[in-house]
């Protein structure tokens, strides 16, 4: 089978790497891919942007692609799946209507409120004066969110009402996130610990994938600005078997059924970002209509069964026959970013040490913002690599991942040194 993976980040490298291992995969194309997917056995890059639906559709048809898997949210929100399906091309991902769970925070909050799915209290605004009047009656900390897609950067956890006002003004009055910030959600600050709950959904049936925990803040101790994610590990002990059952019952199934009751089928990866309070009760911070990045990297590093088979089963509505099998060993991934990410940063910086690390068993380097320049791998984005290690215990996986990250060198290299540290310190890891 020929497979097309859309996207060019670490998530897509992991998806393509795993899909290429399938017994049925003849060739995996990645559009546009990165230097990692260019080097991977069985995968090949295609120079088409992830949002260029016309060119992607032409390519899928002319190449006779059997399955397209969509990585990032932008093409999903833009209706790529609707277009592919209308042309008879098999594709895994939600249609535009279903992708609103991620592409509009206001929609997702109203949806959760309507179906009784636990989430933070909130209000929606398009007018700054109304937002300001509302904020005057609230206490900090409080959270201000751009309604639309902002690459994980549209959320401000404000520690004072003045800061919240400023964030609301930047979004509503100064068009900080352009159209994505023309409407906002202001919501209650939730305290607790975060976990990522990601499932594969075939329209009706749900298969939960291995659990994970991301680290969204840029700096150690969860300080600094929000990012797309600075590292993740899987599985997370924060999701106990009892909580796992509750999340499926209180969040995932009501979400899929709620959409279906409105005539909207959900097919693809569905990600609930959860906040767990001190008693372990889950609340949904956000939905994503795709796999997480960097969660995909440690999760798929642990997948023993055939990802292509699971993806095909999801597109054919027979997920109940396709149960994933996991390596029991935990995996932990550390994101190597460029200093100043998520602000502006330079590109084209040469990366050294990759070959040495790539030869180690139990270690896998997934590329994100990289490209090849005359055979030399250079940086091409803020999050550059995700270095994953898999070991008998989470503590060993962490140690191993950091040993490997230390062997990779590029100017301005930056990483959090505490991925997985909090859960290990609490004694819940191992």
Chain positions contacting ligand GLY, by CB under 6 A: 152, 214, 228-229, 288, 292-293, 295
Q: Which is nearer to ligand AMP, 204 or 226 (CB)?
A: 226
d(CA 423, CA 430) in angstroms, rounded, equals: 9
Which partner from the list ligand AMP, ligand GLY, none does 313 bind, CB cut-off 5 to 8 Å by kind? none
Comparison of 15 and 155: residue with beta carbon closer to ligand AMP: 155
- The 3-state DSSP class for residue 167 equals helix
Of 198, 191, 184, 188, the residue nearest 229 (C-alpha): 198
In sequence order, what E strands does 318-430 have?
Answer: 331-338, 363-367, 370-373, 376-379, 383-390, 413-414
CB of 289 to ligand AMP, least distance (A): 13
Other CB atoms within a 10 A radius of the CB of residue 249 amount to 10
d(CA 258, CA 323): 24
Give bridge partners of residue 303 from the DSSP assignment.
326
**Phi, psi dihedral angles at 200 (to 5 degrees):** -110, 135
Distance (Å, rounded) from C-alpha 79 to C-alpha 81? 5
Nearest-10 crossing angle of helices 105-115, 253-261: 100
Within residues 190-229, the interface with ligand AMP by CB under 6 A covers 190, 194, 216, 226
* Structural contact between residues 182 and 380, judged by C-beta atoms closer than 8 angstroms: no
Q: How many CB atoms lie within 10 A of CB 18?
A: 23
Q: Pick between residue 28 and residue 190 the one whose CB is nearest to ligand AMP.
A: 190
295 binds, among ligand GLY, ligand AMP, none (CB under 5 to 8 A by kind): ligand GLY
The item of ligand AMP, ligand GLY, none sharing an interface with residue 306, based on CB under 5 to 8 Å by kind, is: none
Q: Minimum distance between the CB of residue 198 and ligand GLY, rounded to whole angstroms?
A: 9
The listed partner (ligand AMP, ligand GLY, none) that binds 194, CB under 5 to 8 Å by sort, is: ligand AMP
Report the residue number, 187 or 293, with the smaller CB distance to ligand GLY. 293
Binding part of the chain for ligand AMP, among 59-67, 165-173, 185-193, 384-392 by CB under 6 A, reads 185-193
Nearer to ligand AMP, 298 or 324 (CB): 298
Instruction: Give me the half-sphere count of Cα atoms (radius 13 Å) on the Cβ side of residue 138.
Output: 26
Binding residue count for ligand AMP, defined by CB under 6 A: 15
The SS3 assignment for 252 reads helix
Distance CA 129, CA 184 (A): 13
Q: Which of 117, 157, 209, 247 binds ligand AMP (CB under 6 A)?
A: 157
Nearest to ligand GLY by Cβ — which residue?
229
d(CA 92, CA 18): 15
Minimum distance, C-beta of residue 228 to ligand GLY, in the bound complex (Å): 6
Q: Is the dihedral of CA 105, 106, 109, 112 positive or negative?
A: negative
CA dihedral 348, 354, 358, 363 (to 10 degrees): -90
Q: From the list 115, 128, 134, 189, which residue makes contact with ligand AMP (rule: CB under 6 A)?
A: 189
Out of ligand AMP, ligand GLY, none, what residue 229 binds, judged by CB under 5 to 8 A for its kind, is: ligand GLY
- Which range in 69-77, 127-135, 183-191, 329-337 contacts ligand AMP by CB under 6 A? 183-191
Stretch near ligand AMP under the rule CB under 6 A, chosen from 60-68, 184-192, 260-268, 340-348:
184-192
* Least CB distance to ligand AMP at residue 109 (A): 10
Asked if 276 interacts with ligand AMP (CB under 6 A), we say no
The window from 92-100, 188-196, 202-210, 316-324 that contacts ligand AMP (CB under 6 A) reads: 188-196
Is residue 349 packed enough to be buried (19+ CB in 10 Å), middle (13-18) or exposed (0-12)? middle
Q: Which residues bind ligand AMP (CB under 6 A)?
A: 120, 143, 145, 155, 157, 187-190, 194, 216, 226, 273, 285-286
């Amino acid at each position: 089978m020929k497979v097309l993976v859309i996207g060019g980040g670490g998530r897509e490298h992991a998806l393509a790497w795993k899909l290429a291992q399938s017994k049925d995969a003849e060739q995996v194309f990645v559009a546009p891919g990165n230097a990692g997917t260019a080097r991977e056995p069985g995968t090949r890059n295609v120079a088409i942007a992830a949002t260029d639906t016309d060119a992607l559709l032409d390519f899928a048809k002319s190449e006779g692609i059997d399955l397209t898997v969509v990585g990032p949210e932008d093409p999903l929100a833009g209706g790529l799946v609707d277009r592919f399906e209308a042309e008879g091309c098999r594709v895994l991902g939600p249609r535009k209507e279903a992708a609103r769970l991620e592409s509009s925070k206001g929609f997702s909050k109203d949806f959760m409120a309507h179906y009784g799915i636990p989430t933070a209290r909130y209000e929606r605004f398009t007018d700054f004066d109304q937002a300001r009047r509302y904020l005057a009656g609230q206490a900090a900390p409080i959270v201000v969110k751009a309604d639309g897609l902002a690459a994980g950067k549209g959320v401000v956890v404000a520690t004072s009402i003045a800061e919240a006002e400023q964030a609301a003004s930047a979004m509503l009055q100064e068009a900080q996130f352009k159209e994505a910030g023309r409407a906002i959600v202001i919501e209650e600050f939730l305290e607790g610990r975060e976990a990522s709950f990601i499932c594969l959904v075939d329209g009706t049936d749900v298969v939960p994938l291995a659990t994970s925990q991301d680290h969204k803040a840029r700096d150690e101790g969860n300080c600094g600005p929000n990012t797309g994610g600075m590292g993740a590990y899987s599985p997370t002990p924060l999701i106990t078997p009892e909580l796992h059952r509750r999340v499926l019952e209180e969040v995932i199934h009501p979400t899929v059924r709620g959409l279906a009751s409105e005539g909207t089928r959900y097919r693809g990866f569905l990600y609930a970002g959860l906040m767990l309070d001190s008693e372990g009760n889950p609340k949904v911070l956000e939905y994503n209509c795709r796999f997480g990045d960097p969660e995909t990297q440690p999760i798929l590093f642990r997948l023993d069964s055939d990802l292509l088979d699971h993806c095909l089963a999801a597109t054919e509505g027979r997920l109940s026959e396709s149960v994933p099998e996991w390596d029991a060993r935990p995996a932990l991934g550390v994101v190597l970013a460029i200093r100043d990410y998520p602000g502006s940063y330079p590109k084209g910086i040469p990366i050294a040490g990759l070959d040495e690390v790539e030869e180690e068993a139990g270690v896998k380097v997934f590329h994100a913002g990289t490209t090849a320049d005359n055979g030399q791998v250079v940086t091409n984005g803020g999050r550059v690599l995700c270095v994953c290690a898999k070991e008998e215990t989470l503590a060993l996986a962490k140690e191993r991942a950091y040993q490997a990250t230390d062997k990779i060198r590029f100017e301005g290299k930056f990483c959090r040194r505490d991925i997985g540290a909090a859960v290990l310190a609490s004694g819940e890891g191992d």
